[in-house]
């Protein structure tokens, strides 16, 4: 199961529970399924555009626990940062950690599922995105800390995109520093699979 915000959502059809959207979740699921058809894995995408970690908490029962996934992949945090700058509606890092921890504790307690935690990320395009680092970096550290604490797979998307942006301008990877282009989503899918498939 893929959970998150618009970066995971990418136009999925909410009326079709099997629709995977058009981004990294779909790409990773398709490549995994083509490589390992014998595993007969079913993938779900429950990302919703605009969500913050508190929104995941509010819908965790129907959109995660009720589906009883064996693996839960979470990418959340950029809206917790973005809305500080766009709407003067910040998410304090302590609240971010508390809500995120709740999600993981409930999954562990009720499902015993494996966890995949993905770093939120931002690239310095447009230039004002550089200011976001002061808010986002502590949240990335929370994700890393929780990955260690809950023995989760960590997908280091922030580092992946920083490295990629050293090879080609950030605009190639994300149109606004946040939402990946098709190349950005393909990069995410490849790194997600590299981290998860061992």
DSSP string, 53-95: HHHHHHTHHHHTGGG--SEEEEE--HHHHHHHHHSS----HHH
Please state the separation of Cα 150 from the chain's center in Å. 17
Active-site annotation holder among 5, 6, 73, 80: 6
Pairing verdict, β 153-155 and 114-118: parallel
Q: Give yes or no: 33 in active site.
A: no
- The secondary structure of residue 151, as a DSSP letter, is T
Active-site annotation holder among 9, 73, 179, 185: 179
Token match 């590299």: residue? 194
**Residues in contact with 172: Cβ distance below 8 Å, sequence separation at least 6, in sequence order:** 181, 183, 184
Q: Give yes or no: 98 in active site.
A: no
Are the C-beta atoms of residues 175 and 181 closer than 8 Å to each other?
yes
Q: Give yes or no: 5 in active site.
A: no
Active-site annotation holder among 55, 63, 137, 176: 176
Q: Where are the beta strands (DSSP E) in 90-186?
A: 114-118, 153-155
Catalytic annotation, residues: 6, 176, 179
């Amino acid at each position: 199961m893929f959970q998150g915000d618009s970066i995971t959502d990418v136009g999925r059809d909410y009326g079709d529970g099997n629709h995977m959207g058009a981004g990294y979740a779909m790409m990773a699921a398709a490549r995994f399924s083509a490589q390992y058809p014998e595993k007969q894995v079913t993938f779900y995408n429950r990302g919703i555009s605009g969500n913050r970690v508190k929104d995941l908490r509010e819908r965790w029962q129907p959109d995660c626990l009720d589906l009883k996934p064996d693996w839960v992949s979470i990418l959340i945090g950029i809206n917790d940062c973005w809305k500080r700058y766009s709407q003067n509606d910040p998410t304090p890092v302590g609240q971010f950690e508390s809500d995120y921890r709740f999600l993981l504790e409930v999954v562990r307690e009720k499902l015993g599922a494996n966890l995949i935690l993905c770093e939120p990320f931002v690239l310095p395009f447009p230039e004002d995105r550089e200011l976001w680092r002061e808010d986002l970096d502590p949240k990335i550290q929370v994700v890393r800390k929780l990955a260690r604490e809950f023995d989760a797979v960590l997908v280091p998307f922030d580092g992946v995109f920083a490295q990629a942006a050293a090879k080609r301008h950030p605009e190639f990877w994300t149109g606004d520093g946040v939402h990946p282009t098709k190349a950005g989503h393909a990069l995410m899918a490849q790194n997600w699979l590299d981290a998860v498939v061992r």
